[in-house]
């Protein structure tokens, strides 16, 4: 709901203003002037010619900034540059000429991607010549494929995304089944995950055979992705909208799978490729700065044709497979982008889209990208983490330029903190009861609002600690930090299933790194009960990060931050 205290820029653009001062997030994301002088109405707000001229000027400025800013940051393995290490030209590949550049930002990323657990070594010429060709021609189903795909739908997907329970009246998870049948790209990415987890579920002892199969499936999947990108590169994303959505969904599947098996070599490449496709998709129709309208326009174009629309359409809207895939994958792309920014000390690449896609609409409807329906986290909390990450990036830029204004830093942080505390208070005043139950490692629990409340509160406490680190540095002995760590520990004891911890890896690790010595045993116990370790790999990696921090607890480390913690042996860990 717009208020009379919003900045004049947002009022002119008829946009919701968050009233952050001196620069609101909407204006900051678009890199335009934020007019916030409430006492002096600008001359151009005359409800006449000047106002219309200013509105047109702003539209042109926003479009020009979008063209300059929109790009994909892609580095081959071993070339991980920070934003400060590269020029704008090195960091960005223009997305306007989609038909020419599609294979550069996306397909070349996949070409540069090494096999998992291959230590970055290139495959032999024989392998590169044979594997992708075999993958591209492998369209028909095999008996083993049907078993693995059924395993994915019935067991693995509910385990990986326990909160993702779309209503059957809205099609449920049928879109995944449809894409696995009709799309070799999606099917091959799915088979990668299924073959690995199915082997673990069967208790296979021949680990070498398992890994050989995993590597084979991964090579096949990358080959199919490369081939699919080559097919659509000639005419651009706009001409192959449905195919581009399937590719983006498959890349995110590959990323999540490699992280699950603790291979962190390629996640930046995969995420950059997904970010590139996401932006190309949004702007394949129009170059408008109204991201909400762009998202809705893409969803509309991905809708089913009348010829394929079933009898369900007479009783309610059933999204097409590509609509559901775009919404699901967009959620993961935005989520991973924000968490990655905390490990890279960079502003989220999609910051300009956050308020439009994650914020509640003015009429009180759910946000377009509904996080809690996919990952069990309230969108408002992730918005705050994105804002904190952007604040940290701003702080780093100012320090590098030698002009950091501490008063301004504290002011910006205070605005975020007050809003975050208000959201946390709302969550705490709407408590839910929690039930306990025993479960195997692939047990599916019925998610409910109490789980979402618990998960969101854990994330909110971790976000407040992250903000404290950005403003005041690493201070585990701080009273506020100790309070938030204790709150997270107490909340985690209420979780209905130990497996629920998989949805809170990032806040769990933040709390563990800042825990007191007496709390270390508690964090170890929470992880060690999650067996086999190969199923809960990211949580065991989080414990490894904590142990590293605890070992140097007494050493003077004034510059320690979360990004430093998330780097293990020159490898940046993405905790999703």
Answer yes or no: is 435 within a domain.
Answer: yes
Structure tokens at 426: 């709302």
Each residue's pLDDT tens digit in the chain (576 positions)? 344 678 888 888 888 787 777 677 777 777 788 887 767 788 888 888 888 888 888 888 877 766 664 443 333 333 333 333 333 332 232 222 322 233 333 334 334 444 433 333 323 333 333 333 333 334 455 667 888 889 999 999 988 898 888 887 778 889 999 998 888 888 888 888 888 888 888 776 666 777 677 777 777 777 777 777 776 666 677 778 888 899 899 888 888 888 887 878 888 888 988 898 898 888 887 777 778 888 888 888 888 654 343 333 334 578 889 999 999 999 999 999 999 999 999 999 999 999 889 887 655 677 888 888 899 899 999 999 999 999 999 999 999 999 999 999 999 999 999 999 999 999 988 765 333 333 444 444 445 556 888 999 999 999 999 999 999 999 999 999 999 999 999 999 887 677 788 899 999 999 999 999 999 999 999 998 888 887 888 999 999 999 999 998 877 666 889 999 998 877 899 998
Answer yes or no: is 194 within a domain.
Answer: yes
Answer yes or no: is 222 within a domain.
Answer: yes
Is residue 470 within 8 Å of residue 389, measured between CB atoms?
A: no
Residue 304 and residue 245 share a domain: yes
CA-closest candidate to residue 169, choices 374, 323, 322, 318: 318
Integer Cα distance of 119 and 208 in angstroms: 17
Residue 476 three-state SS: coil
Residue 119 and residue 26 share a domain: no
Residue 436 and residue 290 share a domain: no
Residue 125 and residue 50 share a domain: no
Is residue 267 within 8 Å of residue 258, measured between CB atoms?
A: yes
Is residue 72 within 8 Å of residue 89, measured between CB atoms?
A: no
Domain that holds residue 535: 400-572
Determine phi and psi for 568, rounding to 5 degrees. Answer: -120, 115
Is residue 466 within 8 Å of residue 342, measured between CB atoms?
A: yes
Q: How does DSSP classify residue 567?
A: E
Sign of CA dihedral 411, 412, 415, 418: negative
Give me the CATH number covering residue 20. Answer: 4.10.240
Answer yes or no: is 383 within a domain.
Answer: no
Strand partners, 271: none
Integer Cα distance of 179 and 184 in angstroms: 8
Is residue 126 within 8 Å of residue 297, measured between CB atoms?
A: no
Residue 300 and residue 200 share a domain: yes
Residue 301 and residue 168 share a domain: yes
Integer Cα distance of 564 and 423 in angstroms: 28
Q: What is the pTM of this model?
A: 0.76
Residue 545 and residue 408 share a domain: yes
Answer yes or no: is 390 within a domain.
Answer: no
The burial of 566, by beta-carbon neighbours within 10 Å (0-12 exposed, 13-18 middle, 19 or more buried), is given as buried
Which of 68, 84, 115 terminates a domain? The answer is: 68
Residue 291 and residue 414 share a domain: no
Widest CA span in the chain: 76
Residue 418 and residue 548 share a domain: yes
Answer yes or no: is 456 within a domain.
Answer: yes
Residue 151 and residue 56 share a domain: no
Strand partners, 572: 567
Residue 211 and residue 64 share a domain: no
Structure tokens at 116: 């998992």
Answer yes or no: is 172 within a domain.
Answer: yes
Sign of CA dihedral 412, 457, 376, 549: positive
Integer Cα distance of 131 and 223 in angstroms: 7
Residue 64 and residue 111 share a domain: no
Answer yes or no: is 450 within a domain.
Answer: yes
For 409, half-sphere exposure in the C-beta direction (CA atoms, 13 angstrom radius) is 20
Number of domains, the chain: 3
């Amino acid at each position: 709901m717009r208020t009379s205290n919003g900045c004049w820029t947002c009022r002119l653009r008829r946009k919701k203003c968050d009233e952050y001062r001196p620069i609101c997030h909407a204006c900051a994301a678009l890199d335009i002037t934020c007019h916030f002088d409430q006492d002096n109405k600008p001359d151009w707000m005359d409800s006449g010619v000047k106002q219309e001229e200013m509105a047109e000027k702003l539209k042109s400025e926003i479009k020009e900034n979008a063209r300059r800013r929109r790009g994909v940051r892609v580095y081959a393995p071993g070339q991980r540059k920070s934003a400060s290490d590269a020029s704008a030209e090195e960091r960005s590949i223009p997305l306007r000429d989609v038909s020419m550049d599609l294979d550069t930002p996306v397909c070349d990323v996949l070409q540069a991607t090494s096999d998992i657990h291959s230590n970055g070594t290139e495959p032999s010429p024989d392998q590169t010549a044979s594997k992708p060709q075999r993958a591209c021609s492998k369209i028909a189903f095999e008996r083993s494929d049907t078993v693995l795909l059924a395993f994915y739908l019935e067991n693995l997907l509910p385990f990986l995304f326990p909160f993702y329970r779309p209503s059957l009246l809205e099609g449920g998870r049928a879109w995944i089944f449809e894409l696995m049948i009709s799309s070799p790209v999606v099917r091959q990415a799915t088979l990668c995950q299924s073959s690995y987890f199915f082997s673990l579920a069967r208790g296979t002892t021949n680990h070498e055979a398992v890994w050989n199969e995993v590597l084979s499936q991964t090579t096949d999947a990358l080959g199919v992705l490369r081939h699919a990108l080559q097919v659509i590169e000639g005419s651009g994303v706009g001409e192959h909208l449905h195919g581009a959505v399937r590719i983006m969904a498959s890349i995110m599947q590959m990323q999540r799978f490699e992280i699950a098996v603790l291979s962190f070599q390629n996640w930046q490449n995969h995420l950059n490729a997904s970010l590139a496709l996401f932006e190309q998709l949004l702007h394949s129709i129009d170059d408008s700065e109204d991201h909400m309208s762009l998202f809705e326009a893409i969803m509309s174009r991905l809708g089913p044709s009348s010829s394929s629309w079933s009898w369900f359409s007479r009783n309610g809207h059933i999204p097409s497979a590509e609509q559901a895939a775009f919404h699901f994958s967009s959620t993961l792309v935005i989520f991973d982008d924000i968490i990655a920014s905390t490990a890279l000390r960079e502003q989220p690449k999609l910051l300009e889209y956050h308020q439009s896609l994650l914020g509640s609409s003015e009429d009180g409807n759910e946000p377009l990208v509904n996080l809690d329906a996919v990952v069990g986290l309230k969108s408002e909390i992730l918005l705050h983490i994105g804002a904190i990450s952007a604040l940290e990036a701003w702080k780093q830029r100012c320090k590098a330029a030698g002009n950091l204004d501490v008063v301004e830093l504290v002011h910006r942080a205070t605005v975020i903190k007050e809003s975050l505390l208000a959201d946390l208070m709302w969550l705490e005043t709407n408590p839910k009861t929690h039930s306990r139950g025993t479960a195997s490692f692939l047990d599916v629990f019925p998610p409910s609002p109490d789980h979402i409340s618990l998960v969101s509160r854990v994330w909110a406490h971790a976000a407040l600690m992250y903000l404290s680190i950005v403003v005041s540095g690493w201070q585990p002995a701080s009273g506020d930090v100790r309070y938030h760590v204790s709150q997270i520990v107490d909340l985690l004891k209420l979780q209905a299933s130990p497996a629920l911890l998989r949805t809170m890896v990032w806040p769990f690790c933040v709390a563990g790194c800042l825990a007191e010595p007496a709390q270390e045993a508690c964090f170890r116990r929470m992880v060690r009960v999650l067996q086999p370790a190969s199923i809960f790999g990211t949580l065991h990696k989080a414990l490894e990060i904590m142990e590293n921090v605890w070992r140097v607890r007494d050493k003077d480390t004034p510059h320690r931050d979360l990004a430093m913690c998330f780097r293990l042996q020159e490898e940046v860990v993405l905790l999703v």
